[in-house]
Structure 1
Amino acid sequence: MPDSIIQSHAAPKPVGAYPHARRVGNLLFLSGVGPRHPETNAIPGNVYDAEGRLTDYDIALQCHQVFANVRAVLESSGASFADLVDVTVFLTDMARDFKTYNQLYAQYFQDAQPCRTTIGITALPTPIAIELKCIAALPETR
């Protein structure tokens, strides 16, 4: 199967010049997926002060939304969680958020069981606390 670029109308628009996903042969590479809401672009659980500075966030709400966004990109590509083989997760506050994220991840991915790496980082390009980078393997016939 030739290369194909996937843009999903069910996921938030990318914040840069990149596709939601790219299929090469039977591999599907998802660009980094964050928790922005696809219709409003709002980040669930973010709390801002009067000057617009981020003061707090809810990692559980962001996890639910990022997992929904990953699912949307996969489905737009003809794939599902079951096709995932590798997931890299970026957290901006490992000490605060890992336990909640890990519990929610286990609920969403208990049947899929992709390999996973979780990395603590200092920031992401937008005021989000989590981002996923995924690779799926698809049968050639899809």
Structure 2
Amino acid sequence: MATRDVIFPAGRRALYERNRYSPAIRRDGLLFVSGQVGSREDGSPEPNLKAQVRQAFANLNAILAEAGGSFSDVIDVTVFMVNPEAIFEQVWEVVPEYWGEVPYPTLTAVGVTWLYGFDVEIKVIAAVPAQKRS
């Protein structure tokens, strides 16, 4: 089995180790990023919905940057929402701030009943090949 190329964003490694999962794993030029929520550095939820979505994107973008990529490298997005009928429009008001230009990534939006105290979770797959090490 190949060794996992795990990507940890700066300053949040303890949070991932405490919860026992990898924030992202790179394999064959693809970066598989675990679902990102709008958590503050201590892991608590950002209370305002739009701020929570922005923080989820900030957390996601920190992982992409640590891997040497950006949101423009994202090919596939899955967005999980608690009570999507009530929050979808507010969430989608924030999305264009991060989504980039056409062509957009593929998207799957899923309504769920629970996200550990969060309203939104964003999971992506990006094309971010490993960088050559000097």
Would the TM-score normalized by the shorter structure come out above 0.5?
A: yes
Give 5+ residue unaligned stretches, structure 1: 46-57
Q: Deviations over 1:12-51 (max 9, x none)?
A: 723622111000010000011111112x323111xxxxxx
* Corresponding residue number in structure 2 for 1:27: 30
Aligned length: 128
Match of 1:96 among 75, 86, 92: 86
Per-residue deviation, residues 41-89 of structure 1 (Å, max 9, x unmatched): 23111xxxxxxxxxxxx21111010010000111111110010000100
Question: Are 2:60 and 1:70 aligned?
Answer: yes
Q: Please give the root-mean-square deviation of Cα atoms over the aligned residues, in Å.
A: 2.1
C-alpha displacement of 1:9:
2.1
Alpha-carbon distance between aligned partners in 1 of 2:53 and 2:128, rounded to the nearest angstrom = 25
Letter of the 1:28 counterpart: L
* Matched-pair identity in %: 30
- Comparing 13-22 with 99-108, greater Cα deviation is found at 13-22
The answer on whether the counterparts of 2:67 and 2:128 sit within 8 Å (CA) in structure 1 is no
* Equivalent residues of 2:71, 2:100 under 8 A apart: no
Using the TM superposition, give the Cα deviation of residue 10 of structure 1 relative to its aligned residue in structure 2, in angstroms: 4.3
Give, in whole Å, the separation in 1 of the partners of 2:50 and 2:12. Answer: 19
Cα 1:139/1:100, change in 2 over 3 Å: same
Between structures 1 and 2, the one with greater helix share: 2
TM-score (norm 2): 0.85
Amino acid at match of 1:99: E
Q: Unaligned stretches of 5+ in structure 2?
A: none
TM-score normalized with structure 1 length: 0.80
Give the secondary structure class of the aligned counterpart of 1:95: helix
Q: Distance in 2 between matches of 1:4 and 1:95?
A: 38
